[in-house]
């Protein structure tokens, strides 16, 4: 934490108020530990300093200034952490196309992004269970997408999900184009600022809008009659 504080203070982008921040003493600056000398108690009553009102006022002011300084640094460290979170979110991959996420957007996006990744992992686990049991892949494929079980809108969403989950599952994130025929490469596959996912030059919206209900991958599995059941939206994982 102390390390971070110094990082923040030394940040190039630091506004002028950083200059006001108190600089903690480095270990070398710290006073060497003086040998402890046991002092004899000279007063029987607790010492109460006699301070004039002006002294008290001055004391209060310096305390307030120091508290403000700490609070400023605390908020800067919080913002720094948020910034680090921003840069690992997919939306940050295309800064030229997106504005910086606000604080609340960053938190919601992160929450939802983690949720999607978790669901994807669960889905992959289920796929392996199906394979191990010798059952047909329940996930939407080109074959079952064309089988008439889905509406056009559903097919659209399904293909996006397949792309998305494959993209996430692939180590180099290059499989999205191969799954449903997108002519994209890894550089073009991304999560849009609004939470939609797709390729640079196409896509409606993979329904991952931060403020909208969510697509649930686990709902893509076939029912007992081997008919793909599909429920495109569920309640948003993040309470909006």
List interacting residues with DNA (CB under 7 A). 15, 17, 63-72, 74-76, 79, 102-105
What is the closest distance, in whole angstroms, from the C-beta atom of residue 62 to DNA in the complex? 9
| CB-nearer residue toward DNA: 55 or 227 | 55
The DSSP letter of residue 141 is -
- Distance between CA atoms of residues 182 and 177, nearest Å: 4
Give min distance, CB of 106 to DNA, in A: 8
Nearer to DNA, 75 or 240 (CB): 75
20 vs 122 by CB, closer to DNA:
20
Looking at the DSSP bridge assignments, the partners of residue 190 are 198
CA 181 to the chain's CA centroid: 30
- Whichever of 68 and 202 has its CB closer to DNA, that residue is 68
Which of helix, strand or coil describes residue 221? Answer: coil
For DNA, the closer of residues 113 and 230 by Cβ is 113
Q: Smallest gap, in angstroms, from Cβ of residue 70 to DNA?
A: 4
Provide long-range contacts, Cβ within 8 A and 24+ apart, for 90-98.
Answer: 90/190, 90/191, 90/197, 91/190, 91/191, 91/192, 91/193, 93/190, 93/191, 94/190, 94/193, 97/193, 98/192, 98/193
CA distances from 177 to 124, 182, 187 (A): 18, 4, 11
Tell me how far, at minimum, the Cβ of 26 lies from DNA, in Å: 16
End-to-end Cα spacing for the chain: 32
Closer to DNA at the Cβ: 108 or 160? 108
Q: How far is the CB of 148 from DNA (least distance, A)?
A: 42
CB of 27 to DNA, least distance (A): 17
* Closest-CA residue to 204 (of 149, 151, 147, 161): 161
């Amino acid at each position: 934490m102390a390390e971070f504080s110094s990082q923040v203070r030394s940040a190039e982008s630091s506004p002028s108020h950083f200059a006001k921040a108190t600089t903690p003493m480095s270990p070398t600056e710290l006073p060497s530990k003086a040998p402890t000398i046991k002092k004899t108690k000279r007063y029987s009553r607790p010492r109460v300093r006699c301070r004039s009102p002006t002294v008290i006022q001055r004391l209060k002011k310096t305390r307030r200034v120091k508290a403000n300084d700490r609070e400023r640094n605390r908020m800067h460290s919080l913002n720094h952490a948020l910034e680090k979170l921003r840069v690992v979110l997919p939306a940050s991959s295309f800064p030229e196309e997106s504005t910086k996420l606000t604080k609340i957007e960053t938190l919601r996006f992160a929450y939802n992004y983690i949720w999607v990744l978790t669901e994807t992992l669960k889905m992959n686990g289920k796929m392996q269970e199906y394979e191990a049991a010798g059952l047909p892949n329940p996930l939407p494929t080109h074959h079952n997408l064309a089988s008439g079980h889905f509406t056009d809108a559903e097919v659209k969403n399904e293909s996006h999900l397949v792309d998305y989950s494959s993209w996430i599952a692939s180590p180099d994130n290059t499989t999205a184009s191969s799954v449903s025929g997108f002519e994209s490469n890894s550089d073009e596959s991304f999560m849009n600022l609004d939470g939609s996912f797709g390729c640079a030059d196409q896509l409606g919206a993979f329904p991952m809008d931060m403020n909208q209900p969510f697509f649930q991958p686990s709902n893509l599995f076939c029912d007992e009659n081997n008919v793909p059941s599909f429920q495109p939206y569920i309640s948003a994982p993040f309470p909006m």
